Chain A
């Protein structure tokens, strides 16, 4: 198993796309942090502490990059048909996916661990410049939650990539779902929304929403893990068994 994980990391490190996504993730988090700082003075039911925490919770915006990394790491192998070589080396296809989960968990953790301090530095600077309080209770937990959620999305990407196999379809489905559909459902049906992956990840990241009561952070994590597990199991039962032609 160690060899398989190492092989995945060799592949990830050699890819230009991976390098670009890893650099873009913290930059995006920093840009997102501008928004809640600008909204600090706006009317609303959220307390100042909640608003300060939401600035740092932007560390979670790196999720889209780890999600893409996971998808490209699996569906990309089907797209370029390199999966044939992988299955020739490791005929137990479940092990290949497990190695990808471990490897993109590591890659996701690296992305998250770079994005969180970047968001912290930028958020603190912006809050300070705006004359707002720079810290609030629970900020470390928010950052830790964001790191876990961003890492989790990498695993979810691997599961989705293995399940859908078609890279373009997997990227489209993931982006449409996680950037729009999930948010829309959360707005329309908050009771359902908080149980969807995005709601679970937000809870894990300790975000506060104006219009939706999130699950507690301790429940968000296991729920998100359940979604990852469901995607991987579905892939193993449905698509991974198919003929490689």
Chain B
């Protein structure tokens, strides 16, 4: 099934209805406040290296937010702090007003695709998903559903050790989608995807945001993200250097090179 078709259909679980042609659906208030990412004066030091320094921003639902910056700017560290995997040295990060570690059902609140997502090579894609679905207490049919969403059903019963980088990336996305989350956080999600895969991912993320959900994407692929991002956050050396809406027709590459110089 074409995932694009599937996700623009009305979905009762997001409150708002999206009928007919795709348009910006405003989700109800409670849902909106549930899915705002707020980063407040966030800092992280590794020894003497200040990886993230006094970083503050918020990521709103209903939009794709691009999270940009040079290698070593602190993007991955910031995302891992939002996800409770890395403990901040100072400041805080919350999703829907709560630190990730305090979320009751984190998988239904936030889906994450981290850079170079790892899998046990000896397990099949289905088993990988089944383990996490069971741990999260989600409905059994979610596994087949997300496999179908990322077009991985045909490879579901193959060991992940034989997967290409693109297939692993799809499996990582499937894992992130298990809980049908209101927030998607993706670190370099297009890595290893072939052109058709990139095209598909672009449509997928766009549609996800159109449903009123929050999408935060860290990437170096400016030309790609340019096509779907509504908002841009650029950091460099662990500090914020630009945040603002991405106006139609503006040159993202020029802006990026200008502020990270």
A binding-site residues for B, Cβ under 8 Å? 3-4, 6-7, 10-11, 14-17, 76, 80-82, 84-92, 99, 241, 243-245
Contact = CB atoms under 8 A, between A and B. Distances in A.
Nearest to A16: B122
A120 to B, nearest CB: 33
Interface of B: 77, 80, 83-87, 100-103, 106-107, 110, 112, 114, 117-124, 127-128, 130-132, 134-137, 175
A118 to B, nearest CB: 27
A87 B84 contact: yes
A84 B122 contact: no
6 contacts: A10-B134, A82-B120, A85-B117, A88-B106, A88-B112, A91-B102
Contacts of B132: 7, 85-86, 89
In the A-B complex, the 4 residue pairs with the closest CB atoms: A81-B118, A7-B135, A7-B134, A91-B101
Nearest to A85: B132
Contacts of B85: 84, 87-88, 243-245
A214 to B, nearest CB: 40
Contacts of A76: 120
A243 B134 contact: no
Contacts of B84: 87, 91
Given A82-B118, A92-B101, A11 B131 contact: yes
A91 B137 CA distance: 14
B87 A82 contact: no
A76 B121 CA distance: 11
B86 A243 contact: yes
A89 B106 contact: yes
A86 B80 contact: no
A82 B119 contact: yes
B181 to A, nearest CB: 11
A7 to B, nearest CB: 4
B127 A14 contact: yes
Contacts of B120: 15, 76, 80, 82
Contacts of A244: 80, 85-86
